[in-house]
């Protein structure tokens, strides 16, 4: 299949033409490489761009930080599910008997439901091309992800306990009913990747009181000019000043804070 840079999570504004050409080459070479899909998946490190591998490793490092913290992992913004299923697989590998930790993902799967003035404020040259209603839409990803969750479930212990849960729809609408049905929820890791101001602020207001000391808040777009809404939400809740916000030396986007530190 052809690689379409415009449909990619990566934004042309944060990538040079060399980066895009490199990814096109990688896509072509992947198609030409010998072996079945399964064989290639088993040799994934040969094919995966190092940037994606770095993001997987960062998620592993985050997981190690919360391994002994009670609570579920909540990912705000799922799209194709690479991040969500990284956490699911890492949890299954590292703690196969922890039936209490759920991996919960929120997304419309039809992209951004709305984009506020806060998201659009500032220099238009420094805004994402995805910053529009429907940005990052991946409607076909929803059903596909259900199938991959089924396969994931087939290959783990205690699979009579559900592990991954998708909450589909606009978070501004789904959040209230979700909390009403999940009064018990404790969150060990809140991964913020909605990219937008309003749902990020609501996620922080809703889940922060449910994170115990030692749990993590992860920001995917903090200090990111292309998507300013996440920083504005954190600023309005005084989190920049009050949290010790750290990063991994090998991954430029993700920033995290350990609650209570």
Ligand X SMILES: C[S@@+](CC[C@H](N)C(=O)[O-])C[C@H]1O[C@@H](n2cnc3c(N)ncnc32)[C@H](O)[C@@H]1O
Residue 206 contacts ligand X per CB under 6 A: no
Neighbour-count burial for 132-146, b at 16+ CB within 10 Å, e otherwise: eeebbbbeebbeebe
Residue of minimal Cβ distance to ligand X: 83
Paired with 195 in beta bridges are: none
Query: x-or-dash pattern for ligand X, window 186-205, by CB under 6 A?
Result: -------xxxx--x------
**Residue 169 per-residue DSSP state:** S
Q: Are 184 and 68 in contact (CB under 8 A)?
A: no
If the CB atoms of residues 7 and 158 are measured against ligand X, the closer one turns out to be 7
**Torsion over CA of 150, 90, 8 and 199, rounded to 10 degrees?**
90
Pick one of 71, 83, 215, 228: the residue that binds ligand X (CB under 6 A): 83
Q: Is residue 228 at the binding interface for ligand X, with CB under 6 A as the rule? A: no
Query: Is residue 251 a contact residue for ligand X (CB under 6 A)?
Result: no
Which region, judged by CB under 6 A, interacts with ligand X, from 43-51, 146-154, 166-174, 178-186? 166-174
To the nearest whole angstrom, how small is the minimum distance from the Cβ of residue 36 to ligand X?
25
Whole-angstrom distance, CA of residue 62 vs CA of residue 75: 13
Quick check: 78 binds ligand X (CB under 6 A)?
yes
Only segment of 15-23, 29-37, 71-79, 120-128 that touches ligand X (CB under 6 A): 71-79
Q: Return the residues of window 120-139 that contact ligand X according to CB under 6 A.
A: 136
Number of residues that bind ligand X (CB under 6 A): 23
In the β-sheet with 72-76, what is the strand arrangement from edge to edge? 164-168, 103-107, 72-76, 187-192, 216-219, 251-258, 246-248
Nearer to ligand X, 138 or 239 (CB): 138
Q: Which is nearer to ligand X, 199 or 215 (CB)?
A: 199
* Span interacting with ligand X, options 92-100, 148-156, 165-173, 182-190, rule CB under 6 A: 165-173
Q: CA–CA separation, 22 vs 147, rounded Å?
A: 30
Would you say 230 and 220 are in contact if contact means Cβ atoms under 8 Å apart? yes
Cβ neighbours of 65 (radius 10 Å): 16
> In the complex, which residues of this chain contact ligand X (CB under 6 A)?
9, 75, 77-80, 82-83, 106-108, 111-113, 136, 170-172, 193-196, 199
């Amino acid at each position: 299949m052809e690689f379409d840079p415009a449909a990619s999570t990566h934004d042309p504004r944060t990538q040079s033409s060399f980066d895009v050409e490199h990814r096109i080459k990688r896509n072509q070479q992947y198609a030409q490489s010998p072996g079945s899909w399964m064989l290639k998946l088993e040799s994934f490190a040969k094919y995966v761009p190092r940037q994606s591998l770095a993001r997987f490793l960062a998620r592993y490092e985050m997981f190690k930080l919360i391994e002994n913290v009670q609570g579920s992992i909540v990912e705000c913004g799922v799209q194709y599910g690479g991040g969500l299923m990284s956490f699911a697989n890492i949890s299954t590998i590292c703690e196969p008997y922890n039936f209490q930790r759920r991996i919960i993902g929120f997304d419309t799967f039809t992209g951004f439901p709305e984009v506020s003035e806060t998201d659009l404020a500032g220099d238009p040259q420094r805004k994402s091309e995805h910053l529009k209603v429907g940005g990052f839409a991946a409607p076909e990803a929803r059903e596909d992800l259900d199938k991959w969750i089924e396969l994931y479930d087939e290959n783990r212990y205690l699979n009579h306990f559900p592990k991954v849960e998708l909450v589909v729809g606009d978070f501004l609408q789904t959040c209230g009913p979700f909390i009403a049905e999940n009064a018990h929820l404790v969150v060990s890791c809140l991964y913020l990747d909605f990219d937008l101001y309003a749902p990020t602020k609501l996620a922080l207001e809703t889940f922060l009181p449910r994170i115990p000391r030692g749990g993590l808040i992860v920001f995917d777009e903090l200090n990111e000019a292309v998507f300013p809404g996440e920083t504005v939400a954190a600023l309005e809740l005084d989190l920049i000043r009050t949290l010790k916000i750290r990063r991994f030396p090998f991954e430029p986007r993700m920033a995290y804070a350990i609650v209570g530190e």
